[in-house]
Amino acid sequence: MTTLVLLVGLPGAGKTTVARALEIAMPAARLSPDEELRARRLDLYDEAARGDVEHEQWELAQELLAGGTSVVVENGLWLRAHREPYLAGGRALGVRVELRHLDVPVDELWRRLARRNLLGTEVVVARGDLLRWASVFEPPAVDELASYD
């Protein structure tokens, strides 16, 4: 059955790794705002550009889902309010909607990000940014998880 998979987690949680595996295993189209921002040579911290890319990718996701192609969205979706439109949109299209929360302790996230920072393959993330993001992140609650397939 056509499925929309939402990957929820902070930077370093493994969203891209999981998304790439699902892309092959399902198979599915994988939509990554970070990769699109890099391809356009835009700043990953530019909130307006990120919002535009996420909107464009959601429009594409809906077209793909309506055509029978499963989609993996790796936006992070830190807030319940950000996740709800995807759930509603998937339900409106009559597809399965899965939420996969990649719950990784902050110390482990920092270990992974520090290693990535040294490699220079990704945008550098400061520990202070990670701690700030973790303080606003809303993990899915039991009632929210119950609304997904």
What share of the chain in percent tops pLDDT 70?
Answer: 100
Q: In angstroms, rounded to a whole number, what is the distance separating the alpha carbons of residues 106 and 129?
A: 12
What share of the chain in percent tops pLDDT 90?
Answer: 93
pLDDT at 62 over 90: yes
pTM of this structure: 0.94
Mean pLDDT for the stretch of residues 108-129 = 90
pLDDT digits (tens, 9 = 90+) for 121-131: 778 899 999 99
Q: In angstroms, rounded to a whole number, what is the distance separating the alpha carbons of residues 114 and 103?
A: 18
Looking at residue 124, what is its pLDDT?
Answer: 87
Question: To the nearest whole number, what is the mean pLDDT of the chain?
Answer: 96
- Alpha carbon of residue 3 to chain centroid: 15
CA dihedral of 141, 31, 47, 118, whole degrees rounded to 10: 90
pLDDT digits (tens, 9 = 90+) for 5-36: 999 999 999 999 999 999 999 999 999 999 99
Mean pLDDT for the stretch of residues 59-70 = 98
What CATH architecture does domain 3-145 belong to? 3-Layer(aba) Sandwich (3.40)
Mean pLDDT for the stretch of residues 130-140 = 97
pLDDT at 119 over 90: no
pLDDT at 53 over 80: yes
96, 149 Cβ separation under 8 angstroms: yes
Token digits of residue 38: 């890099």
Where are the domains positioned within the chain? 3-145
